[in-house]
Structure 1
Amino acid sequence: MKVNLSGPDITQKEIDLVVEVLKSKYLSIGPKIQEFEQKVTEYFQVKHAIGVNSGTSGLHLLVKALGITEGDEVITTPFSFVASTNCFLFEKAKPVFVDIDENTMNIDINKIEEKITKKTKAILVVDVFGQPVNMEEVNKIANKNNLKVIEDSCEAIGSENKGIKAGTLGDCGVFAFYPNKQITTGEGGMILTNSDEIANLCRSLRSQGRAVTGTWLHHDRLGYNYRMNELQAALGVVQMERLDEIIEKRQRVANLYNEKLEGVTGVTVPYIDSETTRMSWFVYVVRLDSNIGRNSVLKYLTNNGIGCKPYFTPIHLQPYMKEMFGFKENDFPITERISNSTIALPFHNNLTIDEIDYVVKKLKEGIKLYKY
């Protein structure tokens, strides 16, 4: 049996709307991007949603819009995809990493304040694997120290902490729509903010610095080609309409995994914080005990046709980060220990019970083979 790590959930309705766009006169800068943005603002009850061509682009635009620049420091997590740090490296700002919470794998909020200096400009938090950060506590720290907050919710669209939706509680937030995400536009992202100033800057910067008035070939500032096109937006319109359905589908798969892995020696299933009132699952990541050869188990699963990955390799141990900043092993021990134990199992909306049974069976076999 071959079981893919991830896969989009596309229905005929998405296909029909994309074909409709292909038959229209607008393939970019048209009505579908506005419709998609409007659906996001309504669902998340925010003032502005700005579509872009990737989550990375969205994060970069927010760094620019907040005036983060060379010499500034941004506090963030080393346990994430590299884009959450690259976005401010683009502007020559410096990452200041804080180790993670053992259970949630999000930034350890209790360790943030000790890393604040006179150069600190912002805190960038990541809702890892869909688990939303306690933004109430982060905002208290930010307000006390006059810092901006970027919420990287690229993996958490629809998740809620204490009933509040991820991506809506910082000064600004970002979702991403790569094909392995909960909803997809192929490539794409969405900025959320209640700030008119941030929104106007991001709209201008995503389109080559064009004036907010939209005057053709009039550019107020240096900008980028970070626009989302109409085909992507058409996908987004339908996917956004299906978000609640998709979250429920993914919860079903997570529940099945939890049930079938219960009591399996050597495996820790994902922890859900008590303040997470709704979990929008991005990936399903288990942790193996330290006496199990994680890399050998990964290879065993792969050889048996099962898509799986280690999530995540610590950002501070990426070769370019070590070269730029001198990071080394044991700088962030919790991040490193957890990173060396994780396996992302196949996870998508339409995973079948037979596929889940096969994955669990082979995982058990791998653990038995490579336990020492």
Structure 2
Amino acid sequence: MKESSDIEPVRDSFLPYGRQFIDQEDIQAVINVLKSDYLTTGPEIHRFEKRIAEYVGAKYAVAFSNGTAALHAACFAAGIQQDDEVITTPLTFAASANCVLYQGGNPVFADIDEQTYNLDPEEVRKKITSKTKAMIPVDFTGQPVCLDKIIEIAKEHDLVVIEDAAHALGSTYKGKKVGSISDMTMFSFHPVKQITTGEGGMITTNHKEYYEKLVQFRSHGITRDREKLMNDHGPWYYEMQHLGFNYRMTDIQAALGNSQLNKLDRFIFRRREIAIMYQKAFKDMDEVILPLQGNDGQSSWHLFILRFKSKKLFVDRKTIYTELTKQNIGVNVHYIPVYLFPYYQQLGYQQGLCPVAEKVYEEMITLPLHPSMTDEDVQDVITAVKKVIQKYSTNKGIK
């Protein structure tokens, strides 16, 4: 076997798997706020919320300091309490399950569909008990979960659907924008997402009661609404009516978000272009499995993931990962199944709980995908992947 150093890097500079795209318009938008009277909660937040709601086709949108805070608020609005169960996927960032723990509830992990990597609705059915209160399906990589079946199950069992669409701003399901379908939908504006506010999150909903709870929860559980006050000492008076948190977004963040929104469709178009280039390049390679896009949804392509077939390669995924990084290709792995973390193991979750998710995790590598990539960058990734596979393939004659 040849050593890793035998492969010369395809590029001199490092290409990250994800990266924000910031231009002068974005910078000027932030500067304008810094010169204004509002830095924290001001008009930019209300404008950003209104524009996101209009973009996805929802009645309401509530901005938060980050996506995790938004998920926590959604669990509160859904009424998640001590010992309630909430079903979610293990193949996600920890926040999708942690938000349940914050409310004293218990995350219940259902296995995934091996082709879409999203929650398998039939596996969800198996996990429902008398304690189940909600579901948190995740639109993994931007591919919408099978919402028809998820919502059907939710209606049968009177469950709240909190859609984790951190990856899926701009994705559609049966012609409708993600964010307009579930009871509540969370979007993230972390720098590697479709648009960024630095850190930030949003919940969209069509339910007024959820909207009002979300707004109050993000600001210490405080209200100034005269109609909701239990007492009224005067025009200065406000009440803390439940235990909320300081989860507010700033006007600085929202100004960046508003500027980024002007470019969102262009960003998504470029992401889809890159995904198509990858699909064409790898479609005939027997050593990898391409992501499958369902017929009902159109992804906005937050991530592009290849699965490397262990039976077609004589090295493990770790070696492939290491080789690609030596090519200056910034690959990543999304995600370690949540219940395999030490904290969750201490809570009693055990390996083997979701065998499909565990199998898929062992084979996954995330390739770079962000709108600032040039066609040359994409070709570098393709060349590096093919070089590494050719080195370690059990097949012969790879081109």
Same fold per superposition (TM over 0.5): yes
1:306 pairs, out of 324, 329, 332, with 329
Q: Does the alignment pair 1:243 with 2:264?
A: yes
Residue 212 of structure 1 deviates from its aligned partner by 4.8
- Runs of 5+ unmatched residues, structure 2: 1-10, 227-235, 395-399
Q: Establish whether residue 164 from structure 1 lines up as the match of residue 176 from structure 2.
A: yes
Q: What's the CA shift for 1:164? A: 1.5
Aligned partners of 1:296 and 1:370 also within 8 Å:
no
The residue type paired with residue 133 of structure 1 is: V
1:256-275 matches, cutoff 5 A: 256-275=277-296
* Cα separation, 2, equivalents of 1:212 and 1:361: 59
1:321 counterpart (344, 349, 353) = 344
Indicate yes or no: 2:204 matched with 1:192.
yes
Shift of 1:169: 1.5
Matches within 5 A, 1:208-219: 208-213=220-225, 218-219=239-240
**Cα distance per residue 1:275-307 (max 9 Å; x no partner):** 11x220101111110233211010111122111
Aligned equivalents of 2:363, 2:380: Cα separation in 1: 21
Residue 304 of structure 2 is aligned to residue 284 of structure 1: yes
Q: Within the alignment, does 1:112 sit opposite 2:124 as a pair?
A: yes
Whole-angstrom distance in 1 between the partners of 2:294 and 2:186: 22
Q: How many Å apart are 1:165 and its aligned residue? A: 1.5
Q: What does the per-residue CA deviation read over 1:41-95, in whole Å, with 9 as the maximum and x for residues that have no partner?
A: 1112211100001111000001111110111111111111111000001112111
Amino acid at match of 1:342: M
21, 27, 52: which one pairs with 2:33? 21
- Aligned pairs (5 A) from 1:76-155: 76-155=88-167
Partner secondary structure for residue 112 of structure 1: helix
Give distance in 1, aligned partners of 2:355 and 2:324. 27
In the alignment, which residue of structure 2 is the partner of 1:346? 368
Instruction: Read off the aligned partner of 1:250 and give its amino acid letter.
Output: R
Distance 2:393 2:340 in 1: 26
Question: Cα deviation per residue 1:179-229 (whole Å; 9 max; x = unaligned)?
Answer: 000111110000111111111111111011120529676322211110110
Contact 2:137–2:162 under 8 Å retained in 1: yes
- SS in structure 1 of the partner of residue 108 of structure 2: strand
| Contact 1:3 1:346 survives alignment (8 Å) | yes
**1:365 matched to which residue of 2?**
387
Task: Give the Cα separation in 2 of the matches to 1:70 and 1:188.
Answer: 27
Shift of 1:241: 2.4
Per-residue displacement from partner, 1:215-251 (whole Å, max 9, x unpaired)? 6763222111101101110011121222211110111
- Percent of counterpart pairs with the same letter? 38
Provide structure 1 residue ranges, at least 5 long, that are not aligned to the other structure. Answer: none
Report the more deviating stretch, 139-148 or 204-213: 204-213
Q: Normalization by structure 2: what TM-score?
A: 0.90
CA RMSD of aligned residues (A): 1.4
Q: Distance in 1 between matches of 2:356 and 2:192?
A: 26
1:233 and 2:233 aligned: no
Do the aligned partners of 1:200 and 1:212 also contact (CA within 8 Å) in 2?
no
2:273 alignment partner AA: R
Distance 1:212 1:254, change over 3 A: farther
TM-score by length of 1: 0.96
Contact 2:57/2:177 (<8 A) preserved: no
Q: Deviations over 1:6-55 (max 9, x none)?
A: 11111221111111001101001100000000101111221110000111
Letter in 2 for 1:299: T
Q: Is the 8 A contact 1:162 1:275 kept in 2?
A: yes
1:8 pairs, out of 20, 23, 46, with 20
What SS is found at the alignment partner of 2:107?
A: strand
Contact 1:204 1:212 in 2 (8 A): no
Aligned residues: 370
Alignment partners' CA distance in 2, 1:212 and 1:120: 34
**Larger mean Cα displacement after TM superposition, 213-222 or 183-192:** 213-222
4+ residue runs over 4 A deviation: 214-217
CA shift digits 1:300-325 (9 cap, x unpaired) = 11122111111111111111111112
